A and B are shown apart, each in its own frame.
Chain A
Amino acid sequence: MDVRNCEDFVQLEVGNIVYISGTIVTARDKAHMRVVKLIKDGRIEDVPEEMFLHPVYHCGPLLKNGKIVSAGPTTSARMDPYAPVLLRESSCPVIIGKGGMGRKVVDLLKGRGCYLSFPGGAGALAAESIKRIKKVYWQDLGMAEAVYVLEVEKFGPCIVSIDSRGNSIYPI
């Protein structure tokens, strides 16, 4: 199934297999920590707005000459302490990652969004469907930790593993 719009993610159920086209935004440990700090300091306007408008992809890509060559998901559980802050502010609470997430995230996705698993380690495959880097934020965090706004075409397979009804394939 192909998914293009943010509202489509709410309809998905665990076990659905989807291919995403449109914009996704990478963020991993350091970017999440920075978002939490900025919001805590009352500086939400300094957070790249794309992070609140598109699915967030837990990924630290590998680049060669400014082009992404390998970009599989990283372990989402590490983002459990920070993701809720981001999800509360997001108008598109959708996460792509691997390994699943905890109770707080499952609850915050209820009625609003979902969590999708991309096959871990399949970095070359993921890079195939990344058409271009639209924008890069926070490059000071390093190659893996910066925030990349990506245009993707048929990005998948993504397996819906936490849905908007509170179901999770992973034990929580």
Chain B
Amino acid sequence: MVSRREFVDTLIELLRKAETELGEDVLELIRDAEKREEGTAKLILQSILKNVELAKENSIPMCQDTGIPIIFLDVGRDAELKFDIYEASREAVSRATKLIPLRPNAVHPLTRENSGDNTGLNVPIVHCRIVEGDEVTIAVMPKGAGSENVSKQMMLLPGDSERVVDFIVDVVREAGGKPCPPVFVGVGIGGTFDESTILAKRALLRDVRKMNRFEKEILNRINMLGIGPMGLGGKTTALSVLVEIAHCHTASLPLAVNVQCWANRRAFAVL
């Protein structure tokens, strides 16, 4: 049985980890890019790597935009959770805001009033699935606004299937230097309007080093744009492209592109 206390403590720890340390897969791709680049692009990647080191050493958030907290739960059907996971998630985020600390980012969308502790209507965002087994797998992803703001969902025509890659590349081109490139590109193809976006977001949780041929082809196309680190030019505009696919209605072709900054912050635990 997973206790409420264990669940809350784990979430706080995962938020701290995601904000202050990058995963080895993400770091490896940034280090590789630093070796390939020269001039300003190299200097920026060196600054990013130095920043990551400082954040880890001092246990402080690597970016002042500590994001909006997103929590992914895969709950085993034999797991026992005798508490309200949504309410417990709110408590964890509220406490983490003071402890880590996190910048209070959550505001009402219309009044723009800040709740002060990163919780609010439907926030933290919790995506929950029931899976086989008795474990609870948790992933947290604090998502910054710079990259979220340039993300896009499109309902393409069924005849556009051969141009899907063009649409994905266009999103990154239009984003330019705004989302803090080099970026990670989460892509959801198919499903429905809503399903495509969640596929794109979940794609960013994968090991970013593991790309198939299709994903590598999109990555190469993106890196030919020359946008480079921070949009100041260079070979590395994206570090990885991760695509998830779902069948869709014969009359539609949903496409979602979720752009993520170089700081693909996420942390994982199994209870």
A72→B54 CA distance, assembly (Å)? 13
* Interface 1/0 per residue, A136-150 and B, CB below 8 Å: 000000111000000
**How many residue pairs, one in A and one in B, have C-beta atoms under 8 Å apart?**
135
For B63, give its contact among A17, A121, A143, A169 (CB under 8 Å).
A121
Chain B nearest Cβ from A122, distance in angstroms: 4
Which of B41-49, B81-89, B122-130 lies at the binding interface? B41-49
The reply on B60 being an interface residue by CB < 8 A is: yes
The reply on A113 being an interface residue by CB < 8 A is: no
The reply on A22 being an interface residue by CB < 8 A is: no
Closest A residue to B45 by CB, please name it.
A119
- List residues of chain B with CB within 8 A of the CB of A99: 146, 176-178, 230-231
Which of A35-43, A61-69, A87-95 lies at the binding interface? A61-69
Closest A residue to B56 by CB, please name it.
A124
- List residues of chain B with CB within 8 A of the CB of A63: 101
- List residues of chain A with CB within 8 A of the CB of B44: 119, 157, 159
Q: Is the CB of A75 within 8 A of B61?
A: no
- List residues of chain B with CB within 8 A of the CB of A60: 64-65, 103
Chain A nearest Cβ from B178, distance in angstroms: 4
Q: Is the CB of A59 within 8 A of B47?
A: no
Q: Is the CB of B61 within 8 A of A70?
A: yes
Given contacts A77-B178, A124-B61, A170-B177, contact A161 B105 (CB under 8 A): no
- List residues of chain A with CB within 8 A of the CB of B230: 98-99, 117, 119-120, 159
The reply on A100 being an interface residue by CB < 8 A is: yes
Q: Is the CB of B104 within 8 A of A121?
A: no
Chain A nearest Cβ from B129, distance in angstroms: 30
Q: Tally chain A residues at the interface, Cβ within 8 Å.
A: 39
The reply on B66 being an interface residue by CB < 8 A is: yes
The reply on B250 being an interface residue by CB < 8 A is: no
Q: Is the CB of A124 within 8 A of B103?
A: no
Given contacts A62-B102, A74-B65, A120-B261, contact A127 B176 (CB under 8 A): no
- List residues of chain B with CB within 8 A of the CB of A123: 51, 55, 61-65
* Interface 1/0 per residue, B161-201 and A, CB below 8 Å: 00000000000000011111000000000000000000000
- List residues of chain A with CB within 8 A of the CB of B176: 99-100, 170-171
Given contacts A62-B102, A99-B176, A143-B103, contact A121 B62 (CB under 8 A): yes
- List residues of chain A with CB within 8 A of the CB of B263: 121
Q: Is the CB of A75 within 8 A of B149?
A: yes
Closest B residue to A125 by CB, please name it.
B51
Chain B nearest Cβ from A109, distance in angstroms: 17
A74→B65 CA distance, assembly (Å)? 8
For B61, give its contact among A15, A69, A170 (CB under 8 Å).
A69
Interface residues of B (CB under 8 A from A): 40, 43-44, 47-48, 50-51, 54-55, 58, 60-66, 101-105, 112, 114, 144-146, 149, 176-180, 229-233, 261-263
Q: Give the 5 A-B CB pairs with smallest separation, nearest first.
A: A120-B180, A122-B51, A125-B51, A123-B64, A70-B64
16 A-B pairs whose Cβ atoms sit less than 8 Å apart in the complex = A62-B61, A70-B62, A98-B177, A99-B178, A100-B177, A119-B47, A121-B180, A121-B263, A122-B51, A122-B62, A124-B60, A127-B60, A128-B54, A161-B232, A170-B176, A170-B232
